[in-house]
Amino acid sequence: MAAICSGTLSIPESRPGWRTPLDGMLTKELAGLDDQALLDLVRLSPQASERRAVACELLVTRHQGLVRSCVRPYLRSPEPTEDLMQVGYVGLLKAISNFDPALCCTLATYARPCISGELKRHFRDKRWQVRVKRPVQELVLEVREATWRLAQELGRTPTDTDIARHLGVSEDDLRQARRAELAFWPDSLDAPVAGQPETITLADVLGEEDPRVEHMLGMQAVATHWGELPAREQEILLMDIRGGMTQAQIGQRLRISQMHVSRLRSHALGYLRSRLLDLEGNSAAKEPCVVATGAHRLCGGRLPRTLRLR
């Protein structure tokens, strides 16, 4: 297919693929009419009329340059140019069918916002791989168009400050639009990773859930309040949970009754549990979490089952 060049850009000359070959004599007859006459013919002829189809064909051919100019700001998008041209032709055909001479004097003036709107709807509704808020979607398209226009006016690549000032948005909004635009280029999990001696896919190098992270967070939570326990209760928990001693053995070691061991153990576990769950309404994060030695000794690197949050 022939390419039509405009400056440094090359846009394929595509036409809507659904139209069928038309009668040559009828085309020659209507080719001498101006746009207004052809638009009147489109408006007044039956939907299935051959004359109406020929008039639409001639109008589309005459305004191919308008479609290309509307597509040009989106050439750096991942969407194929051929597809964008087809979307633009859909907008042009809608403009031809709905043209109202009371609103605009020329088809070009009426069709430009129709074509641009069709392109924006295409990107908004069909190109996003993840859900992005509509204002951000629209800002992404505005940024792309402003980048192209400012590059023509300034003779250089515009900076973020240039674009933000031109669009009247903050640089934070602009950065958010930049991040959202990455959704246009999703990476396949089966894509090979560059720079590796063997064929390795992206899925092969993605991290998995590490259960030790949960243990570490649990240890930090216990360590935050471990020092609040009396020394005897700390010792009982260490012998119980880490040492694996029975309550009778702990009682013999501390020279207290088994019932007393049970009460002290229950009190210590209940206190820690209430602090971790914040049952008393106190914040458990008044100070930075510091992993105390005693907490490590308590569990040997594991959070006691009796303290795990459910």
Q: Is the pLDDT of residue 4 over 60?
A: no
CATH number at residue 137: 1.10.10.10
Residue 220 lies in a domain: yes
pLDDT at 87: 93
Residues 179 and 250 in one domain: no
Q: Is residue 22 scored above 60 in pLDDT?
A: no
Rounded to 5, what percent of the chain is helix, strand, coil?
Answer: 60, 5, 35
pLDDT above 60: residue 230: yes
Q: Are residue 233 and residue 139 in the same domain, yes or no?
A: no
- In this prediction, residues 152-173 reach a mean pLDDT of 90
Q: What is the pLDDT of residues 219-228, one digit of tens each?
A: 888 888 898 9
Average pLDDT of every residue of the chain: 78
Same structural domain, 168 and 145? yes
**Are 122 and 59 contained in the same domain?**
yes
Buried-exposed string 182-204: b where 16+ CB fall within 10 A, e elsewhere: ebeeeeeeeeeeeeeeeeeeeee
Q: What is the pLDDT of residue 137?
A: 77
* 249 has pLDDT over 90: yes
On the question of pLDDT at 291 being above 80, the answer is: no
How far are the Cα atoms of 59, 103, 164, 186, 189 from residue 206, in angstroms, in the given order?
A: 53, 57, 36, 15, 9
Q: Is residue 205 part of a domain?
A: no
Task: Tell whether 104 and 40 lie within a shared domain.
Answer: yes
The span from the CA of 308 to the CA of 178, in Å, is 42
How far apart are alpha carbons 110 and 1 in whole angstroms?
Answer: 29
- Do 147 and 266 share a structural domain? no
- Residue 218's pLDDT is 81
pTM of this structure: 0.45
Q: Which of 127, 144, 169 is the last residue of a domain?
A: 127
Predicted local distance difference test score (pLDDT) of residue 186: 64
Of 103, 127, 151, the position where a domain reaches its end is 127
Buried b / exposed e across 114-144, counting CB within 10 Å, b at 16+? bbbebbbebbeeeeeeeebeeebbebbbbbb
Statement to judge: residues 9 and 118 lie in one domain: yes
Say what the pLDDT of residue 303 is.
45
- Does 193 fall in a domain? no
Q: Which residue has the higher pLDDT, 3 or 263?
A: 263
Whether 191 is covered by a domain: the verdict is no
92 in the same domain as 37: yes
pLDDT, residue 12, reads: 47
Q: Domain for residue 238, yes or no?
A: yes
What residue type is assigned to position 151 of the chain? A
- The verdict on 58 and 151 lying in the same domain is no
Specify the higher pLDDT residue, 287 or 170.
Answer: 170
Beta bridge partners of 3: 12
User: Residue 206: inside a domain, yes or no?
Assistant: no
Residues 11 and 122 in one domain: yes
Q: Among residues of the chain, what percentage have pLDDT more than 90?
A: 25
Same domain, 8 and 101: yes
Question: Do 221 and 284 touch, CB atoms closer than 8 A?
Answer: yes
Tell me, yes or no, whether 200 lies in a domain: no
* Residue 291 near residue 223, CB atoms below 8 Å: yes
Q: How many Cβ atoms from other residues are within 10 Å of residue 157's Cβ?
A: 9
DSSP-assigned beta bridge partners for residue 4: 11
- The answer to whether residue 77 is domain-embedded is yes
Task: Please write the tens of the pLDDT for every residue from 65-112.
Answer: 999 999 988 887 777 888 899 999 999 999 999 888 878 788 889 999
Question: Residue 114 sits in a domain of what CATH number?
Answer: 1.20.120.1810
Higher pLDDT, 204 or 310: 204
> Which of 84, 83, 34 has the alpha carbon at shortest distance from 59?
34
pLDDT in tens, 182-223: 766 666 777 777 776 667 777 777 777 777 888 888 888 888
The type of residue at 183 is A
Whether residues 137 and 84 fall in one domain: no
Number of independent structural domains in the chain: 3
Domain carrying residue 64: 1-127
Q: Are 100 and 111 in contact (CB under 8 A)?
A: no
